Structure 1
Amino acid sequence: MTTENTPSPQENFEQNRLDVLNNLKIYLSIEEELVFMRLLYSSSSTTLRQNYGLKRNEIEKILKIKGDDAFLSFMERVNLVTGRYFQVVYDDKRDRAVVLMRVPAREAKTTLNKESLAILLYMFYQQEVLNHEFTLLDQVIADFGHENYNATRKMVANIKPLESIGAVEKYDISATEEAYKLTTIGVHMFSDSFLRRTLEFSQERQLSKEEVLKFFKRYNLYLKEDEL
């Protein structure tokens, strides 16, 4: 009698994700597969630091396409093939396309603690809703109610994981002030469903999707997203 090890849900998820990558050639052309793999590689914060993703003209040059219709068609088809485990997004404000990797909720909770997530949401609100160009560290410290030295160190420590996953980057403004700016990755980390729950919690009432998108200025998201 032999016994077999049953794969865990996490192992199944990882294997399915690898299967999607192995099967890209079935659904995409050689050029499209190349673009996706370059996006995947260049979306790694440990690889290119602050130069995440690819510019639109770089993608169009490889695919030999021009115009919004051709570009959006490529994005939609790639997301149709990979959408369960990956999401390709384009941020026209920053002119960057990146690949976001979907992870199970349990894995997401081990990547960012609640303090880091709160700081990211704070920066998202400041920069995407209030249109601030950057967020000062002093603002984060003041608005979170901490002003002593140890609390400042803790805030910086909670921002570090956001830098390591490529969600935020340091923004140079002066030698005496420290500031941070969202990257394309950071802007698109929050799903519509997560933002809806966050806003409903603060408003203490249920909101329609249109109200949430209007509040967070998200009118250009045409693909359904899974919950964070």
Structure 2
Amino acid sequence: MRFVTAAQMKQLDELAIYTYGIPSIILMENAGIACANEVVKRTKSKRAKIAIFCGIGNNGGDGFAAARHLHNRGYQPTVFFFQKPEKMKLDPQTNFNILKKMQVPLVYCSEDTQWENLAKTLKSFRLIVDAIFGTGLTRPVLEPFRSAIHVMNHSRLDIIAVDVPSGLNSDTGEVMGVCVRAKATVTLGLPKKGFSLKKAHRYTRRVVVADISIPTEVIHQFYDFDVKD
């Protein structure tokens, strides 16, 4: 198995977008579908309540897309988000606005959030999706994300991480102060370098590599191997 650094994955994404003309929102859509598929595999009831924690970047946008697909399949997602819509990047903002029009429950989280109350709320949920941080995390996790991760980890619910468990440095496998302990990690495009280290396994657990439609030609520009092998 070949692993990529965060910088390499960013280059792969940019090649797909700018050289091959694949809109970035399509990559986000495919990430959301892959995450939703993993949730479906792990939940028996189609009416299950799913808590989706969405950060301030594209990882959060992946979570928004996953919420839409889960809603359309009959699940009951609630999205906990950390950035006001007007400050979001275009792709996450687009997916957020769709959720708003669909009347999917949206809960804004900040440093003023009563985390004890949120922890009690999670008791009625079946599963958590972690879409707070992706490969870009290189500094210690700060509030309010730190409290959110603590609440997620202490909920006793299975957690599915999108791309990287939030709090894990995807290059080094180091925990940046606090880290989501996922039951499964749906990593996008290619597995990340930090996943190859034993110390990261307790946080990633089962790693599912999701095809988000990056052309094989793009990948071959980095590696001389057949990705089908």
Q: What TM-score do the two structures reach when normalised by structure 1?
A: 0.25
Greater relative CO (CA pairs within 8 A, separation 6+): 2
Identify the structure with the greater strand proportion: 2
Identify the structure with the greater helix proportion: 1
CA radius of gyration, larger in? 1
